[in-house]
Structure formats: C-alpha cells, structure tokens
Structure 1
Amino acid sequence: MMQMIRKLWMVALLLCVYTLQARQLVVYPAPPNAPEGLENKDFTVKVRKPGGAWQELYAYNVKVDEMRGTAHHVQNASLCSFDFSGDVEVSVTYNKGRIETARIRPLSFNIAYTARGNTLYFKLDRPRNLSVEINGDLFHNLHLFANPVDDFKVDKKDPDLVYFGPGVHQLPGGRLNVPSGKTVYVAGGAVLMGQLLVSQARDVTIRGRGIIDFSVKEGVKIAYSKNVLVEGLCFTQCPTGGSDSVTIRNVKSISSYGWGDGLNVFASNNVLFDGVFCRNSDDCTTVYATRKDYTGGCRNITMQNSTLWADVAHPILIGTHGNSTVPDVIEDVKYMNIDILDHNELQLDYQGCMSINTGDNNLVRNVLFQDIRVENFRRGQLVNLRVFYNKKYCTAPGRNIEEITFRNITYNGSGAELSVIAGYDSTRQIRNVTFENLVINGVKITDHMKGKPGWYKTSDMARFFVGEHVENIQFK
C-alpha cells in the first residue's frame, strides 16, 4: 500500500512539474537608460497566467506610415511583446478615452474579447502576432507580439556568442559586422542602435526578443552568405541578397519611411520565412532576380504562417528586376497560410495583394499561393499578373509567367479594384494559371457560374480583367 501511495505521489509531482513547464510566462523589463520617445503610453498592457498576478508590459513607440492621397504622414503606434506557453490572459487598457469599437486582427484567429470600461480582456492559447485596434484607428494601434518561449540557453563564456542584455546599446560606427560561426543574441529589453550586417559569412545566428531601433534602416542585412538564421527580433527591414540557405522566423518588420520594403530577396536560393509579421511603408515581401550588386535568379523561396500589412504598395511582389542581357529565372516560390491585413496603393502600376510582374527578360514559373486570407483593404487589387515593361525600373519587358496556382484564397471586403492578368506580346505570355477554391465575399468563383439572365464570364464575376497574350486560365 505504501509503495502504491509513493507512486501516486510521484505521478502527481511529475504532473505538477509538467503543468508548470507547460504554462510559462516571460515578461521582459523596460530598457534601462531608455531615451525619451522610446515609450508609448497610449495603452497599458498586462498579462498573467490564468488566475495569477497581472504583470505589466513595456510599450515601445513604433512609427507607421499613413497615406492620405499622395502625402505620407508618419504616426506613432505601440508595440508590446512577451513569451508564453500554455494559456495566458491579456488585458489592454486604452488610455486615450472610451472604447466604442475594437478589433483584434488577423480576423481569422477569431479571438473573442470582453470590454469593461476602457479595457479589453481576452485569452490566448498559442503564440500570435496581433494588431489591437480601438475605434477603427489603424495608425495608433497596439502591435502585440505573443511569442513562443525562447529556449536558447545563453552562455556568456561562449567565445562565439555576442550578447546584448537589457538596455540601449549604441553600435560603434552604427554597425556590427557578424563573422562566420557567430551567434548574436539580443535579449528582451535590449535595443540596438545600429545595423547587424552578415556579409560573406556562413553559419550565423541572430536571435532573441530585443529590438533594433526603428530609426535604423535595414536593421538586419544578409549579403553573399550561407546558412543564416534570424529569429524573434523586431526591426525595420531585412534584405537577403546573393545568399543561400537563409531562415527568417518569427521576426517583426515595421517601417514608416520611403522605400521601406520589409523582407526583400535578391538573387538568392533556399530562403524560408516562417511566422513573420510585416507592416511596411512599401512592399512587405519581394522576390527579385538581379538587382543592386546581386546577380542571378531565385529558387525555392517560401513564406508561411505569416501576416502582411502594406501601408503602401504590395503585400507580395515577385519579379520586376532581372538581367536583360543574361535573363534570370525565378521559380519554385510558395506563399502558404498567410493573412493579408491591408493594401493601400494609389498608383495602378504598383497594385496587387498577390502580384507577379516580370521585367528585364525574367521568367517566373511554378508559384503557389495557398490558404491566403485577404481582409478588406483600402485601395488596390487582389491579384496582378503582368508581363510588362516598366521603363522606370526595367531595361526590357519580361519573358513569361508560367504555372501559377492560387488555392484556397478568400477575400472579404469592398476596397478591391479590378484585378489584372495580361501578357505583353505573342512571345511574352502568361500561361497556365489555376484558381482553385477562390472565394470572394462568400461566393465561390468557378468556370461554371450561372447568372441572370444567362451565363456570365467567370473573370467578370471575380472582377478580373484578362487581357491579351494569356493562355489557359482555369477557375476550379
């Protein structure tokens, strides 16, 4: 009997330890010696384990770009982050007045909340990158990043570790060149004033829960390198050029200035973006061939489990730049399980939530868009596929666009203008484009749609303009 009791106590103890490990909550400190303007006090944000004590998060100030007509207006928004596993309760108090309406996005997460006074309460059961918006305000919102628990073990005696602890760090000369074999760890509560540059290096890791200050353009830059991991940080931009085998996971890219692209790829292969959040003042993510000092095409580029918010230009853009003399190929590109929160572009030449525009004799082929949820956006097109000659950026028209699949795409909203699919001439075409389970405002678009009176053209029902030099478009 005593032996059985001991076994039961042991099982109970193990269950208790497992439960504690499964319900972790990590809150990072306010940066010591923080300069004026680093904090934003629009919101008071607290988190706790279910039924536990509330812990307040430090709210950073982050700048975003509000376009009014053709004018840019930089606004101040908020950013908070923490780590957890299991379940967590969140309270968000709006310090600027009364809550009339509220949204927690992406809407596909279906996060329920209750509002009491000027405070929202909700629960999370998994890591999420969120936008909390009060009274319809997109530009003074709360960016709330609920991360998985960081399992990296910091060994400050490791000669290959460069460690930045909580506080504000001014990088000498405004840049740290990261050599091969090094790990740079930016802890939660740390703010770097300067760029992390990985150039002609290999086997490099940059990770943590800290911030590269949002005044630093291209906060992380990867050039001519191989086997690079970037994980967990917040910054403005992270371009990857002339590189191979790059993984960028759970980063948050937010920009407010001109040419503020988020996650560019230039002439690189085997690049994975996983669980990223982009809110940018230009294209959120691009795949280009020859561009700047980088030469060649792109192969095997994947973005998955991510959220894109384009305050200006495209959420997703493929093509445009290449080498007209020695034509490039961009192929095997995938976007899967993506939420697009906004798209706002006045210029017709730069519209498209999902856009493939080939110039410079580029060939783009084998591209998959799958499980993409597009929320109502302010201005632009759902899809833009064009072989074109943009004289501002190209020296020749593109080649072809071939074998493109859109699968399980949903759009709910009223802001979309007419989408465009158009080739250039009889030798520069768009071929073999399939839309499978395209749903627009609850209506499935198929090749056999029937209207009144008579039959309607499917592309008209989808509000797609299909121009010349386009072969074999199917709506399944």
Structure 2
Amino acid sequence: MTQSKLLLQRSVVVLLFSLSFLFMFNQSTPFGYAQEPEGAVVTAYPTPSDLPAKYKSSDFSITAGNTSVPVYVSGENAWGKKVSYATFDTTASTNVKITVNFPFDSFKLLPDSLGLAGTKNGNSVSFQISPSTDVTLLLDGDYNGRVLHLFSRAPETDMPSAQDSNVIYYPPGYHDLSAQGPVQITSGKTVYVSGGAIVRGRFLVQDAENVVIRGRGILLNDYTSGDGYDEVALALKRSKNIEIRDLIIARDKNAWTAFMWKCEEVKVLNYKAINARYASSDGFNIANSHDVLFDHVFIHTSDDSVAIKGTGDAGYNPAANPATAPPTYNITYQNSQLWSDSNNAIGIGAETLASSFDNITFKNIDILRNYDDLNYPDQLVERSAINICALNATTIQNITFEDIRVEKAKRLINITMEDDFWFGSLQGNWQWPGVIRNIHYKNIQSSSDGSNEIRIYGRDASHLIDNVTFENVQIGNEYVSTFNDSHFKVNAFARNLHLISPTYPDGLTADGPILPVGSIHNAAQQFSQEQGVNQWFYRTWQAGVGTRDMVWNPDNSEHWRGPKDWDAIWKSNGELFFHPDVTQILLDWVSPRAGQVDISGIVKKAVIDGGDGVTVSIWKNNQMIWPSNGQWQVIEYNDSQGYDTSCSTSLQKGDVISFRVDKRGTTSYDSTTWTPEITFVD
C-alpha cells in the first residue's frame, strides 16, 4: 500500500468518527448513534458504499430504537433460500422493529430460552432485546425458508490504534482481498476489523503465538482461490495463545468456514459464523488441539456447526495409527446457539485420528435446528443433534453435555463406531484398540417433533461404549425414566449405561435400579496401587511371622509383592492373579457398613504346565466361611475350570473378608486367577 493511500484511509477513519458524534444528536439519521428515550445508545455501522448489491439483504428492514440497522445476506441455504443477518451495539435494552418485505402469517423468535414473545403488526415484528443477545426470526415455522439472524452486542472497548505497528487495521469500508493469498498473521500481531469494515478475504495464523483477531466488522468469503492455501475464511495451524473475538464470518462456499489444527490455548469469544451453503460448511472445527474455549458463539451451517476432530499429525490418513497423532483435550464450548441444516449440531468425529479425546464439555447450548441431509433424509442414522461418531480406533473419554436445549432435530443423541462416512468417501480404521467411555448427558431438554432417537452402538467386544449416564433427559414434557423407552436404540457392545430421572433419582441401569453407592465391590475393577483404596488390602501370612502388608512394585510389571521371591498379587486382562510362596496370599476386604452380602467368583489355576496345585479358602474375621466344610479347597495343578466360590454372610462394619491362596508342597507353577466380588443385597 502506498503512503498516500494509507494517509487517505486514515483520513477517512477520522472523518467517520467525527461524523459519528454528529449522529448522536440527529435521531433521524439512518445510520450511526441514536439516544433512545430510556437511555440506550444504539450503534449501527454504515454499509460500505461500494459493497456489491448481492451482499445486501432486501428481505428485511430493521430499526433498533430510532436507528436503522443494515441487513446483509450470507448466501443461500440448501433449499435455495437467502439467509440474512444484521448486527448492532447497544448500551441497554432496546426496542427492535423488523419489517419483513414478503408475505408471512406467523413468526417465532428463537431460541425459546430467551423468552421473547414479540408482537406482529402488519408485516412487522417488534420486541425488546438486551445487549449481548443473539435472536433468530423464524417465519411460518419454515426452517428451510428465509430467516434472519440478529446479533445485539454491548459497546466495544479497548479498540487498538490504527497507528500501532503491531496492528493490521481495517477501517470502515469494503476491502476486497480475493485477488491475493490469505492475510498471514505472525506472532504478536493484532488484526482489527472495525465496525463498518467488510473484508472479502482469508486470514491465516500459522506457526505463530500471541495473536488476536477481533473487531465488529465482517470477514466475507464466497470464492475459491486455487492458490494452494486452505480454502477457508479463517485457519489456525500449529499456533499458541490465540484469541478470536467479536468477528462475524459470512461465507457462501461448500467448505469449512474456520478450523484450528495442532493449536493450544485458543479463545473464541462472541464469534458469529453463517455458512448455509450445502454442504461441508462446518462452522469452526477443532482438530488435534487442546485448552480451547468457545463462549457466546452463534453458528448457522449446512454441516456440523461444531466438530471436534482428529485429522492426524500430518493430515488425515486412515492407515495411520491414531496413537501417533496429537491428542484433542481440555475443550469447553458454552453459552452458545447452533443451527445445522445438515449432519450434526454438536459433533465429535467423524475423523478421530488422535491419540485420545479427553475432557470435553458442552454446556448451556441452544440447538435451534438440526437436519440430517437434504438428499438423504432419514437414511443416515449416525447423525444427530448431539453426536459422537468415531471412524478411527482411539480413546474418547470424559465427555459432558450439560444444559442442552434442542428445539428442532431429526435425532437427539448418537454414539457410534463406523467403518466409513458419507457412503465411503471418508474411510475409518479399527485395527487398533479403542473405546468410548465416561460420557455424561445432563439436563438435556428436547422440544423437537423429530424421532428424538437415542442411539448407542458399540462396534465389537474389543471396541466398546462403556459407562454412559443419562441424567434428566426430557423429551417434550416427559423425562426418560426407563431403558425400555422407545427412544433408546442400544446394541450388545454398549455397557454400564445409567439413567437418572425424577422417577429414579438414585439411578437406573439397563438391568434395573442402581444399588446404593458402594454396594458392589469387584476386586479387579477396584484394584489399586495403594493399600485400603475401596476397602481392599494386599497381604501375606506366614507361620511364626504373622500378617504383613505387601509392597507395590511398579518395576516388576506392577505387582503387589510380599517378602519372598514369588509371593505376589497382580491384575491382567481384567482378572486378579495370585502366587503364593512359603507365605500365604491374603486379599482382604474391610466392610464399610453392616449388611447382608453375597460373595462370588471363580478360582482356578492360571498356569497348568506343572507343580502340585494350590489350596484356597474364604474367611470372615477368624472363621472360614468357604468351603462350608471347614477344609481348604484343593485346586489341582491342571485345573483350568476351578470352583465357584459363591457364599453369603452378614457383616458388621469393620468385619474382614479374606480371600486366601496357599501352596501345597511346592511353589512352582502356582499362578492362580481369582476375581472376587462382594455385593450388598439389602
């Protein structure tokens, strides 16, 4: 840019700011500032005079207080209808009047959680809106039709200076950068798109840190460059400490709107994205990144509104081992509104080429609309409003969906493991271990007229969905209170499902009511590296010496070890193993309360190649309770079937149940498997 052109732009900025103060005292001025009777100051940024007409919406006219608000169009949705949007700043609650420039009979202001009723007078809709509120005008219940998204915001503060050498400053006006590559933003830079600025271009942050992209302007992208860079409006790659704030992205291409890859410490605040072009128009995807916050976001797309993915270390390759790819973790997405005309509103996957997905939370989200697909409605069962779809064998765990309100959707919840996606166009790979576990749905409310299906489909015995809790899931006016509910579709590879509702406040499992906390004590599941955890103690006994606590030995395949060469307790493949020496092995459990218990478990030889077998027994305090004849049970050296150790007894708090394994003549080949379980039945 020449020095004379730069001086001219700065002169324009000064002139616009000077005019804005004159506007404050002229309420008839169509754009600018207006003082409302109740004290609200409204700021509406003028439309650039050279903005092409195709970006301006003729479907709606808006006034906020006494100020006219420009209305733009992002493009067309999957059904060929224009999607309009507008924005203004206000210091306080403001009266808004929207005039609809085509016939309509009824309207609704979304989301329901705002509680906005509004009034209709002819072809106008009026209501009151507070700062920092996103509201959508839906007409005649037609989600496929022409809609308006309106964003009111509190006044902007701490604007950067156009004279700062570390600021890339876009003043009010139309800036067409489509003939060049993306604006590459380096470390320490701030990009400021001021109110009234519309930038037709792309932003790229790559191998950088301490970057801010902000402002009340609009990043516009409706073209394909073919220059070798990512065809997205905003890309973050291998970068750290990035903040995206207040930016509106209006995109009209069937490709991702924005994404981050291999990034950390990213904040996306008050971000608005509209890309309703069918399809693949994801709003802001998160891949192989961590420590990410999205807050007060609005997204309307014709694909995933948000997808948390793993696209690999060097790009998506289904043959790659997910364990070699960077993990995706510590992500919070909150206080936001999502609208997806295809695929999922909230999605984890489909690409899951990451070593793990961990600690991801969505909370206080309004899902305004979720449709599955324009061309294949009701045929793609793996799509839903709240979705986890894994294509690559990895660990997905500790995921929470809380306070989610679904207004319009085909299906409600889905967790699945698939071979491929979109008719084989995206392949998966399941040759490695993988699990989806510890998933919590809490306070999920659906008012949708869709199927509201809840589908939980694991893959096989090596790729399970484990430990999923549904807490206060409400469909219509009814809470889901039984797994016999017709909304559930669950296969044999989903286990440990829990349901909590007002009917069962203490919980329900797929097999019946959940027993009180602490009622089931499985020695393998509760195995610990510390003595006394979950009431279990790992000990030895020897004549003339007495009872000793074992010592944890992490350097010997993570065994509990006694004082001799071979005495040990360890866990492998979900079972406990015992090996005596001249010492007996004692697995002791101390009862935390009084009650009646059932004791179960199969004891058998683990190694049957030699030796002379072992003897086993169960004791309560100082009395043998199994076998009932008072004699230790002999397990022959080659007995791989063993014995059922089932028995019952009553306990007082502090009573000790002891599972004991002893040698016979020798200690050779004495490895024995035994996984006791103690269940309170009262």
TM-score by length of 1: 0.86
| Partner amino acid, structure 2, of 1:253 | A
Does residue 118 (structure 1) correspond to residue 145 (structure 2)? The answer is no
Q: Which residue of 2 aligns with 1:24?
A: 41
Pair 1:200-2:195 in alignment: no
1:287 and 2:319 are equivalent in the alignment:
no
2:97 counterpart of 1:91:
yes
Asked if the contact 2:205–2:236 (Cα under 8 Å) also holds between the matched residues in 1, the reply is yes
C-alpha distance in structure 1 between counterparts of 2:52 and 2:458, whole Å: 53
Alpha-carbon shift at residue 150 of structure 1 (Å)? 1.2
Determine which of 71, 75, 94 is the counterpart of 1:59: 71
1:365 aligned residue? 397
- Measured after TM superposition, the shift of residue 413 of structure 1 is 2.2
How far apart, in 2, do the equivalents of 1:162 and 1:307 lie? 30
Does structure 2 conserve the Cα–Cα contact (< 8 Å) formed by 1:372 and 1:410? yes
2:190 is the counterpart of 1:167: no
Partner SS, residue 342 of structure 1 = strand
Q: Could you say if the C-alpha distance between residues 406 and 22 of structure 1 is closer, same or farther in structure 2, counting changes exceeding 3 Å?
A: farther
Higher relative contact order (CA 8 A, sep 6+): 1
Q: Counterparts of 1:437 and 1:30 in 2: how far apart (Å)?
A: 47
Measure the CA separation in 1 of the matches of 2:494 and 2:39: 53
1:210 — aligned with what?
A: 217
Q: 1:475 to 1:22 in 2, by over 3 A?
A: farther
1:102 aligns with 2:137: no
Alpha-carbon displacement from aligned partner over 1:189-214 (angstroms, at most 9, x marks no partner): 21111101111110000011111114
Q: Does the CA-based 8 Å contact 1:63-1:214 persist in structure 2?
A: no
Q: Which residue of 2 aligns with 1:344?
A: 371
Q: How many residues align?
A: 430
> Would the aligned equivalents of 2:198 and 2:220 in 1 still touch at CA under 8 Å?
yes
User: Hey, what's the Cα distance between the residues in 1 that align with 2:204 and 2:38?
Assistant: 36
CA distance in 2, matches of 1:282, 1:259: 5
- Distance, in Å, in 2 between the alignment partners of 1:412 and 1:267 is 34
Contact 1:198 1:222 in 2 (8 A): yes
- 2:202 counterpart SS class: strand
Whole-angstrom CA distance in 1 between matches of 2:86 and 2:282: 22
The amino acid that maps onto 1:26 is T
Code of the residue aligned with 2:367 in structure 1: it is: I
The structural deviation recorded for 1:280 is 0.6
Residues in 2 aligned to 1:334 and 1:413: alpha-carbon distance in whole angstroms: 23
2:240 alignment partner in structure 1: 226
Query: Residues 432 and 465 from structure 1, CA distance in 2 versus in 1: closer, same or farther, beyond 3 angstroms?
Result: same
2:643 aligns with none
Aligned to 1:38: 55
Deviation of 1:243 (Å):
0.4
In 1, are the aligned partners of 2:108 and 2:117 still within 8 Å (CA)? no
Structure 1 equivalent of residue 617 of structure 2: none
- Classify 1:107/1:226 alpha carbon distance in 2 versus 1 (closer, same or farther; 3 Å): same
| Structure 2 equivalent of residue 248 of structure 1 | 268
Cα-to-partner distance string for 1:68-100 (whole Å, 9 max, x where unaligned) = xxxxx4321211101122211100011113x41
Structure 1 residues without counterparts, runs of 5 or longer: 1-18, 49-53, 67-72, 447-457
CA distance in 2, matches of 1:147, 1:462: 43
Aligned pair partner of 1:444 in 467, 471, 479: 479
* CA–CA separation in structure 2 for the residues paired with 1:135 and 1:319: 34
Q: Which has the larger radius of gyration?
A: 2
1:421 pairs with 2:456:
yes
C-alpha distance in structure 1 between counterparts of 2:393 and 2:299, whole Å:
29
Q: CA deviation at 1:21?
A: 12
Q: Which residue of 1 aligns with 2:283?
A: 262
Identity across matched positions, percent: 29
Alignment-mate amino acid for residue 467 of structure 1: N
> Is the 2:407–2:448 contact (alpha carbons within 8 Å) kept by the matching residues of 1?
yes
The verdict on how the C-alpha distance between 1:194 and 1:420 changes in structure 2, with shifts beyond 3 A counting, is: same
Partner of residue 16, structure 1: none
* Aligned-partner residue type, residue 136 of structure 1: G
Deviations 1:437-474 (A, max 9, x none): 1111110122xxxxxxxxxxx23425010111111111
**CA shift for structure 1 position 20:** 11
Gaps of 5+ in 2: 1-35, 224-230, 252-256, 316-324, 501-682
Aligned to 2:497: 473
Question: Are 2:397 and 1:383 aligned?
Answer: no
